[in-house]
Copies of this chain bind each other. A is one copy, B any other.
Amino acid sequence: MSLIVQKFGGSSVADAESIKRVAKRIVETRKAGNEVVVAVSAMGDTTDDLLDLAQQVTPIPSGRELDMLLTAGERISMALLAMAIRSMGVEARSYTGSQAGMITDAQHGKARIVDVTPGRIREALDQGAIAIVAGFQGFNRSTGDITTLGRGGSDTTAVALAAALDADLCEIYTDVDGIFTADPRVVPLAKKLDRITSEEMLELAAAGSKVLHIRAVEYARRHGVSLHVRSSFNNNPGTLVVNPKEGETVEEPIIAGVAGDLSEGKITVVGVPDKPGKAAQIFRVVAKTGANIDMIVQNVSAAATSLTDISFTLPKADGATVMQALEAERGDIQFAELQYDDQIGKLALVGAGMRTNAGVSAKLFTALFEAGINIEMISTSEIRISVVTRADTLNDALRVVHSAFDLDGDELAVVHAGTGR
């Protein structure tokens, strides 16, 4: 008997009909002889509706109370899902994050899981029941307060339960068929991957792929949980996200996929004195704002002036805050000027095979050059190459690169409506 954890997102349980459809799928997994634990998100737009309500009451709601409010969403979906399963003659019980033992730190709105004590879930399984667990939520032991895990929280709940229960597999049901070599809405010939390493998946998620949340992938990687990302709308096999063991030889394609991201902006600090410690000074200021910066490029100093320029990318949402923070330190840092550019696109090429294959960068730059696409910044990691282009050339760049690395499939990818959480 295998233990399978299944995660269903908000679009998979948007109304009573979808809930019954998902219930049927869960019951089939149980009847195939598996123990089943389910992590479920709030129905459809419930979370946004609750956020709207909070905004109507106060523009700056308390974090503790906002978490209390939002966790009502999964409470509704999980109870309905458990009812639906029971109406099919199979025992099912729903559990809040707190009842399921999802213990977190006390950071409301973006709590991190510090421990999982799924005693009641194990007990339910031992009694032959399916356990339905509220995604996205936990509780803090010292305050006794309810917390939420932030974006991607339900994926993380599923993975954390799979790890704590030593599950054989964690299935992430979503509204796409799996992980693709590129976003099929942008690159119509994108192919579904049968298999990807968690390391590659991490880089793709960091580079803007939205199918799996980066936290969930990190958690799965750290705890050796195998993920199966698949569609809740059909029975096709999806993509396995695997954790090859140290030293295990895996036949890898050179490139797993290419991802694009239009959510970032670029700040350039112009005319910085080319002296030791200046970069550190700048990024201390940036770090204090809490902004998550990504690529950093420092120009070679112009010998005549001993001044240099430093550029970095960051989420557009943090742009104004960081600009203000830097401006306030202009006297100390002694730069000449600040420039902000929110019309950039970021392309990332990811593949574990890059490590042992020279020439990947050259091939990438050549493909972009031949398509007449200008590269503004470059940064590389062990299994990723990222470049910044103008925003309006990003989609062309994605298609060109996808072709250049022979990722194009033979047929158009099927794109489903809706987006998961």
Within 8 A of B (CB), among A41-97: 50, 53-54, 56-62, 64-66, 68-69, 71-73, 75-76, 78-80, 82-84, 86-87, 93-94
Is B75 touching A62 in the complex (CB atoms < 8 A)?
A: no
Contact A16/B56 with A144-B99, A144-B120 known, Cβ cut-off 8 Å: yes
List of B residues within 8 angstroms of A84 by Cβ: 57-58
Chain A 6-26 near chain B by CB (<8 Å), digits 1 or 0: 000000000110011000000
Contact A93/B64 with A83-B57, A87-B58 known, Cβ cut-off 8 Å: yes
Is A65 touching B86 in the complex (CB atoms < 8 A)?
A: yes
Bound state CA distance, A62 and B61, in angstroms?
34
Number of copies: 2
Bound state CA distance, A94 and B144, in angstroms?
12
Bound state CA distance, A50 and B78, in angstroms?
13
Q: What is the chain B residue whose CB lies nearest that of A93?
A: B64
Is B99 touching A57 in the complex (CB atoms < 8 A)?
A: no
Is A69 touching B62 in the complex (CB atoms < 8 A)?
A: no
- Listed in ascending order, the chain A residues whose CB lies under 8 Å from chain B are 15-16, 19-20, 50, 53-54, 56-62, 64-66, 68-69, 71-73, 75-76, 78-80, 82-84, 86-87, 93-94, 99, 120, 144
20 interchain pairs, CB-CB under 8 A: A16-B57, A20-B57, A50-B76, A53-B80, A57-B84, A58-B84, A58-B86, A60-B87, A62-B83, A65-B79, A65-B82, A65-B93, A65-B94, A68-B82, A71-B75, A72-B72, A72-B75, A75-B75, A99-B144, A120-B144
